[in-house]
Amino acid sequence: MVVDQLSRELDDDDVDRIFQALADATRRDIVSRTMQDEYSVTELAERYAMSFAAVQKHVAVLERAGLVSKRARGRERVVSADPEAIRRASRLLDAYELLWRQRAQSMESILAEDAEDRRTDR
Amino acid sequence: MTVLESRVDADALTLTFVTEFDATPERVWQLWEDPRQLERWWGPPTWPASFPEHEFVPGGRSHYFMTGPDGSRVHGWWRIIAIDEPRRLEFDDGFADAEGRPVEGNPVRGVATIEGRDGRTRMTCLMTFADAADLEKLMEMGMREGMGLALGQIDDILAGVHA
């Protein structure tokens, strides 16, 4: 089972780093952009209402979590997302959220039976 | 049933899950209070839950187990911290041995808030993990089959579903 494999691939520190990295909306947006294309930090900074240094810091957090990596492109360094690392993180978060979606659906089914009962009584 | 909000806060290690049901708060409260109803929704579809003990009073303890497709069982316990019927329930949820005794590890703190609104009922569940390892352990134990559907949902995170 893949979730099980996931648990073994990541140690506690990895999980903490990934959770923290994805907790921030700007960082999620950076991941989203760099999944599509490579961007230099300067190019990314132009897209957010914050300083170059702040964007650089966000990129560093993502890099430490293994979600993005930097490589040289000519004289500049460009940022791109690591799809496999993101898939792993997304699975962990989604799995717990999905449990609650399933619970809510089951609750809904139980409540729907009340309506059935009311119709039968009539 | 409408999912109004589902938010993972990775810093605080919380999940906030808000749904709205076409029922009264009293009716939604029964889903938590009545063990026969609770066991119909607590486990994932492929890991149905049984609650042989459910002491639904402040300080009360529950013992449940979930049975997987291969017949294996994962046991858990609840301890009710506070009850304000039919508005608010606070409880701890942890792993147990076969007799329902808590095993090592931190429980998940759950707070369910139930509010009536225009004939419908809004239920907010705030689940708090003590550390990321606990969440990982939850995913590892018992949930594997039920979690199968969660895989490959990368589009959600990219679309900002967790925002």
Name which of B13, B127, B140 is nearest A4 (Cβ-Cβ): B140
| Residue A66, Ramachandran bin (φ over 0: left; ψ between -120 and 50: alpha; else beta) | left
* ipTM associated with this complex: 0.80
In a domain, B76, yes or no: yes
Single pTM value for the model: 0.63
Tens digit of each residue's pLDDT (9 = 90 or more) over B112-134: 999 998 889 999 999 888 876 67
- Predicted local distance difference test score (pLDDT) of residue A45: 94
The total of structural domains in chain B comes to 1
Tell me, yes or no, whether B158 lies in a domain. Answer: no
pLDDT in tens, A25-80: 788 889 888 888 899 999 999 999 999 999 999 999 999 888 899 999 888 889 99
Strand partners, B117: B120
Residues of A in contact with B15 (CB under 8 A): 96-97, 100
CATH assignment, A2-121: 1.10.10.10
- Name the residue facing A32 among B40, B133, B158 (closest C-beta): B158
Spell out the domain ranges in chain A. Answer: 2-121
Question: Per-residue pLDDT for B148 more than 70?
Answer: no
Separation of alpha carbons B63 and B100, rounded Å: 5
Chain B residues near residue A85 by CB distance under 8 angstroms: none
Count CA atoms within 13 Å of residue A61 on its CB side.
Answer: 22
Distance of residue A51 Cα from the nearest chain B Cα, in angstroms: 22
* Domain assignment of residue B40, given as a range: 2-147
Q: CA-to-CA distance for A113 and B37, rounded, in angstroms?
A: 12
Q: Is B78 domain-assigned?
A: yes
Q: Note whether residue B114 is domain-resident.
A: yes
Looking up residue B88, the CATH number of its domain turns out to be 3.30.530.20
B41 touches chain A (CB under 8 A): yes
